[in-house]
Amino acid sequence: MKTKRFTAEEAAQAAEILTSGGLLGIPTETVYGLGANGLDPEAVARIFAAKGRPQDNPLILHIPSADWLERYCEHVPEAACALAAAYWPGPLTMILERKPMVPDVVTAGLDTVGMRCPSHPVCRAILTAAGVPVAAPSGNTSGRPSPTTMADMLEDMDGKIEGIVDGGPCSVGVESTIVDLTVRPPRLLRPGGITLEQLRAVLGEVAVDPAVTRLMGAGEQPRAPGMKYRHYAPKAPVTVVRGDPAESARCIRRRIGDRDGVICFDEFAALFEGHPVETIGPKDDQSEQARRVFDALRAFDGTDAAQIWAQCPDPVGIGLAVSNRLNKAAGFHIIDAEAEP
């Protein structure tokens, strides 16, 4: 199949791919998504095939406005309306009770469904033109880092989807925050563009699912099925070094082998001359780190580094999402710089 490239101005034309049962690469403010008509079970099934995605991993539905929640969700709680008023359109997915009309293939048979209203203007134009909820996971092959540009997505999906729309590089760079509103207290299942602090400002108490900060043991089930899979991982093993940036840089410097690569803050790149280095932005600019973290992981897929050492921001603000993605790429293999001799 030839994958047709659309410009941002051609969003409405591209949306016809969705309404005719095809797969469309869509830009969002978080990452590029692999979209299909969320009410068409056959089209949705093709998403799983194109990504090589396990069937038990549910998809989220993208809608153009919060008014659409009632169409697909039962008993929409006050908390959902409050979050939508505060942070939609934007990088936030809410888990809510589903209505029976949502196809089983979307929810992987769960009685809940993830709902998201994206802010990217091109995505909104596509959703409005399509007039259907769009089921869309991140546009990567299962297990690879999520794509934050059209070129990244084409690396994985060229020839496997009918079309893709170019919306430029993603402004957030990590996937949406997922909050489960079907449990009390509400629970953060995946950290993302809307911070835990922002959720708590609206909801009060918010629990953090253990899968966010540590590896799930055998027999343990994270509430977001996707959080149990090894993710974002380059071919070489990754070790995350946390702590004060100057300390973590020194710690990596001491341990690094000749053929090892480094993911580091801009300020420390010079320390690792002669090694493959990917920078993720200044140490104090977590938004920039979020925009660049997947690119850095993707870049290492193409190298023959023996292992990769990664500096990591503190887990506050959007730093929680950046550290979660790095920790997952490392299979939660983490060392503390300050604990070093």
327 binds ligand TXA (CB under 6 A): no
Binding footprint of ligand TXA, residue count (CB under 6 A): 28
Toward ligand TXA, which CB reaches closer, 119 or 323?
119
**The one-letter amino acid at 46:** R
105: Cα separation from own chain's centroid: 20
By beta carbon distance, the residue nearest Mg ion is 138
**The one-letter amino acid at 191:** P
Instruction: Select from 15, 76, 102, 113 the one that contacts ligand TXA (CB under 6 A).
Output: 113
138 binds Mg ion (CB under 5 A): yes
Q: Is 240 helix (H, G, I), strand (E, B) or coil?
A: strand
Task: Name the segment binding ligand TXA (CB under 6 A); options: 58-66, 194-202, 205-213, 280-288.
Answer: 58-66
Instruction: Select from 80, 122, 136, 310 the one that contacts ligand TXA (CB under 6 A).
Output: 136
Q: Is 311 helix (H, G, I), strand (E, B) or coil?
A: strand
Q: How many Å from the N-terminal Cα to the C-terminal Cα in the chain?
A: 56
311 binds Mg ion (CB under 5 A): no
33 binds ligand TXA (CB under 6 A): yes
Task: Name the segment binding Mg ion (CB under 5 A); options: 135-143, 237-245, 256-264, 300-308.
Answer: 135-143
Pairing of strands 33-37, 134-135: antiparallel
59 binds ligand TXA (CB under 6 A): yes
138 binds ligand TXA (CB under 6 A): yes
Which position has the token pair 């299942």?
189
Q: Per-residue b/e over 60-87, b at no fewer than 16 CB within 10 Å? A: bbbbbebebbeebbeebeebbeebbeeb
Which position has the token pair 């809410």?
94
Bridge partners (DSSP) of residue 190 are: 178
| Window 141-200: residues binding ligand TXA (CB under 6 A) | 175-176, 178, 189
Two structure tokens written together for 218: 């055998």
The residues of the shown chain that bind ligand TXA, judged by CB under 6 A, are 28, 30-31, 33, 57-60, 93, 95, 107, 110, 112-114, 116, 136-138, 175-176, 178, 189, 223-227
The residues of the shown chain that bind Mg ion, judged by CB under 5 A, are 138
